[in-house]
Amino acid sequence: MKSKLVLLFLSLSLIGFSQNNPKPKLVVGIVVDQMRTDYIYRYWSRYGEGGFKRLVNDGFFCKNTHYNYVPTYTGPGHSSIYTGAAPNVHGIIANDWFVKETGVETYCVSDDKVKPIGTTSKNGKMSPHKQLTTTLGDELKLFTNGKSKVYGVALKDRSSVLPVGHAGNAAFWFDEETGNFVSSDWYVKELPLWLNNFNAKKLPKSYLERGWNTLYGIETYTNSIVDDNKYEKAPNKKEKPVFPYDYKSQIENNSWGILKATPWGNTITKDIAIECLKNESMGKDDISDMLCISFSSTDYVGHSYGLRAVETEDVYLRLDKDLEELLKTLDAEVGQENYVVFLTADHGAADVAAYLKDLKIPAGYLKEKNIEKELKSFCKKLYGDSLIVNMSNQQVFLSSVKLTELKLNSDEVEKALANKLIQMEGISEAYPSSVLKFEGYKGDSFKSLIANGYNHKRSGNVAFSYMPGWLDIPETGTTHGSEFTYDTHVPLIFYGGGIKKGESVRNYYITEIAPTISILLNNPFPNGCTSKPIEEVLKK
Ligand code: ZN
Ligand code: ZN
Ligand code: ZN
């Protein structure tokens, strides 16, 4: 009886919610690639009033939001934000992974069956077909019988394709061979006219002609360490990692890829998002639309220079300006109360390990290739064969053919390898697949994060993780991918119609974004969604 009353109360309050708050005409998802939560605070005094500060001050800031799985990479991150599920369900277990059936590695959005549109390069052969569940956009399309408009824009193909999902109108991404934004025939037969016109403007060239200098006097970048330091490496390796940067030689060589590691990569993403919004008349009627935007340049800059660099500070200060322009355009085109924005990140990032070591903080470097070599010789000694067919994303894949041939018990081999792994330097945990597949976990143990990232069909025989602060990269720049808070803790801000003002320190998971947006839209949740909506952000 009591539970029936609670249910009645719950459904009444949901009805009350939907009556008082008309559903948004437009949802804008913003993912800032590699943004750590502390970038909100570290650069706070440097941001203007109209970008990050506007979202935080007038929206709802979930200050304690985390990824609930490993690996914390771009492909799985974007998938989880828009599907409300972890890789164990949506199947995007990494950016690239080893396919057991074929014995070759595959990229999360590559698709040989589709044709590139707007380019002849293989960079256009992308689709979401490896993503096993629906996204927010897919559910919008289903709910409105295709009438909702769903678009995605990003420099990175995976950051545009995975959010839009299977049934969206189109994903557009940057083709560094031509310097154009392109798509595939999964979505469209040809690029829309507005995009052809956009590409004809050759914005990558005009942006790169500006070079890159700091937005403000370099002496004001006191939230960062000195510009010229040994922990950074410019993407063009010959160059010193110091301001000002000049891109004349890249322009002469048509090397448009350099755009990715400059703030202009974000600016052009803002430009195309605004073009898409206006030309596709998004948010103009009562049928809700969705625009998925991902800013990738923050990730390329972070990888090259690390998280204490003047370059990183500057790319955020400039992104703040791009956000301000985007929000102003939304106000003008859609109206402040008619749209809802969420801003988050696909993962955080680790400090440069060499920098931590210099501060006497535990950290280190290892190489997965060396671990593989050591494990292979271990197997050879024990079983007469190296047995390992692939090592990737901190997982070991064994040859099932060899295991059968040699009449080996795979559970025992996996256990022996896990035991060997945890004795190695820089490795903290290792689990045989049987543990990840069949044991239950409570809470946020690292083991449960590994299990949430473990897909029964696609993942390997043994999964392991590094020690906190340990990285598998050269000694400059940084990366991400681990289960530690520096990689899992990301900002999450909701803003706009139907959203309360406020903040919370409750622990939320990235998979709770999709059901929250679904509730705002009165829409079914994405079909693999494993999480509940975040109630405290919604106006009652
Ligand atoms: Zn990323
Ligand atoms: Zn520098
Ligand atoms: Zn990255």
pLDDT band at 12 (very low <50, low <70, confident <90, very high): very low
Question: For 255-264, 282-291, 443-452, which range has the lowest pLDDT when averaged over its residues?
Answer: 443-452
Phi, psi of 502 (to 5 degrees): 155, -170
pLDDT band at 3 (very low <50, low <70, confident <90, very high): very low
Decide: 60 and 539 in contact? Cβ < 8 Å.
no
How close is the Cα of 354 to the center of ligand 2, in Å?
A: 16
Residue 55 CA to its chain's centroid (Å)? 20
Q: Which residues pair with 153 in a beta bridge?
A: 172, 293
How close is the Cα of 75 to the center of ligand 3, in Å?
A: 10
Helix, strand, coil % (nearest 5) of the chain? Answer: 40, 15, 40
Q: Which of 350, 362, 335 is nearest to 303 (CA)?
A: 350
Give me the amino acid identity at 336.
Answer: Q
Instruction: Spell out which residues have Cβ within 5 A of ligand 3, the ion.
Output: 299
pLDDT at 334 over 70: yes
Q: Which of 167, 180, 173 is nearest to 134 (CA)?
A: 167
Residues with Cβ within 8 Å of residue 13, at least 6 apart in sequence: 540
**High-pLDDT (> 90) share of the chain, %:** 93
How close is the Cα of 34 to the center of ligand 1, in Å?
A: 5
Nearest ligand to the CA atom of 345: 1
Pairing type for strands 96-98 and 105-107 reads antiparallel
Decide: 428 and 434 in contact? Cβ < 8 Å.
no
Cis amide bond preceding 76, omega within 30: no
Report how far apart, in Å, the C-alpha atoms of 178 and of each of 204, 212, 251 are: 10, 21, 12
Q: For the chain, first and last CA: distance in Å?
A: 25
Residue 247 CA to its chain's centroid (Å)? 27
pLDDT band at 442 (very low <50, low <70, confident <90, very high): low
Average pLDDT over residues 273-282: 98
Q: What is the pLDDT of residues 32-67, one digit of tens each?
A: 999 999 999 999 999 999 999 999 999 999 999 999
pLDDT at 11 over 90: no
pLDDT band at 437 (very low <50, low <70, confident <90, very high): confident
Average pLDDT over residues 119-145: 97
Q: Which of 356, 377, 375, 374 is nearest to 365 (CA)?
A: 356
What pLDDT, on the 0 to 100 scale, is given for residue 6?
44
Helix (H) or strand (E) holding 152, with range, is strand 150-154
Nearest ligand to the CA atom of 346: 1
Average pLDDT over residues 177-191: 98
Q: What is the DSSP letter of 262?
A: S
What pLDDT, on the 0 to 100 scale, is given for residue 21?
64
Nearest ligand to the CA atom of 218: 2
What pLDDT, on the 0 to 100 scale, is given for residue 1?
38
Q: What is the pLDDT of residues 457-474, one digit of tens each?
A: 999 999 999 999 999 999
What CA–CA distance (Å, rounded) separates 356 from 175? 36
**DSSP string across 64-119:** EEE--SS---HHHHHHHHHHSS-HHHH---SSEEE-TTTSSEEETTB-TTSPEES-
Name the token pair of 473. 């990269």
pLDDT band at 254 (very low <50, low <70, confident <90, very high): very high
Phi, psi of 411 (to 5 degrees): -60, -40
Q: If you average pLDDT over every residue of the chain, what do you get?
A: 95
What CA–CA distance (Å, rounded) separates 86 from 448? 11
Task: Provide the 3-class DSSP secondary structure of residue 270.
Answer: helix
Spatial strand order in the sheet of 427-432: 388-392, 395-398, 462-466, 427-432
Nearest ligand to the CA atom of 156: 1
Average pLDDT over residues 2-27: 56
What pLDDT, on the 0 to 100 scale, is given for residue 205?
98
pLDDT band at 517 (very low <50, low <70, confident <90, very high): very high
Q: Is 120 known to be catalytic?
A: no
Name the token pair of 350. 């680790």
**High-pLDDT (> 70) share of the chain, %:** 95
Task: Provide the 3-class DSSP secondary structure of residue 334.
Answer: coil
pLDDT band at 101 (very low <50, low <70, confident <90, very high): very high
Residues with Cβ within 8 Å of residue 154, at least 6 apart in sequence: 31, 160, 172, 173, 174, 269, 292, 293, 294, 295, 296
Average pLDDT over residues 424-437: 95
What CA–CA distance (Å, rounded) separates 150 from 379? 50
Average pLDDT over residues 412-416: 98
pLDDT band at 349 (very low <50, low <70, confident <90, very high): very high
Nearest ligand to the CA atom of 221: 2
Q: Which of 27, 290, 342 is nearest to 168 (CA)?
A: 290
How close is the Cα of 347 to the center of ligand 1, in Å?
A: 6
Name the token pair of 311. 């370059």
pLDDT band at 218 (very low <50, low <70, confident <90, very high): very high
Given 74, 134, 267, 479, the catalytic residue: 74
Q: Which of 469, 480, 516 is nearest to 33 (CA)?
A: 480
How close is the Cα of 422 to the center of ligand 3, in Å?
A: 26
pLDDT at 13 over 60: no
**The CA-based dihedral angle spanning residues 269, 272, 278, 283, taken in that order and rounded to the nearest 10 degrees:** -40
239 versus 182: the higher-pLDDT residue is 182
How close is the Cα of 117 to the center of ligand 2, in Å?
A: 37
What pLDDT, on the 0 to 100 scale, is given for residue 343?
99
How close is the Cα of 260 to the center of ligand 1, in Å?
A: 13
Decide: 219 and 250 in contact? Cβ < 8 Å.
no
How close is the Cα of 300 to the center of ligand 3, in Å?
A: 7
How close is the Cα of 233 to the center of ligand 2, in Å?
A: 8
Give me the amino acid identity at 49.
Answer: E
* pTM confidence score: 0.95
Average pLDDT over residues 328-352: 98
Report how far apart, in Å, the C-alpha atoms of 525 and of each of 2, 12, 166, 203, 383 are: 27, 19, 15, 38, 48
Q: What is the pLDDT of residues 477-511, one digit of tens each?
A: 999 999 999 999 999 999 999 999 999 999 999 99
What CA–CA distance (Å, rounded) separates 1 from 76? 42
What pLDDT, on the 0 to 100 scale, is given for residue 7?
44
What pLDDT, on the 0 to 100 scale, is given for residue 441?
72
Give me the amino acid identity at 532.
Answer: K
What pLDDT, on the 0 to 100 scale, is given for residue 323?
98
What CA–CA distance (Å, rounded) separates 360 from 527? 47
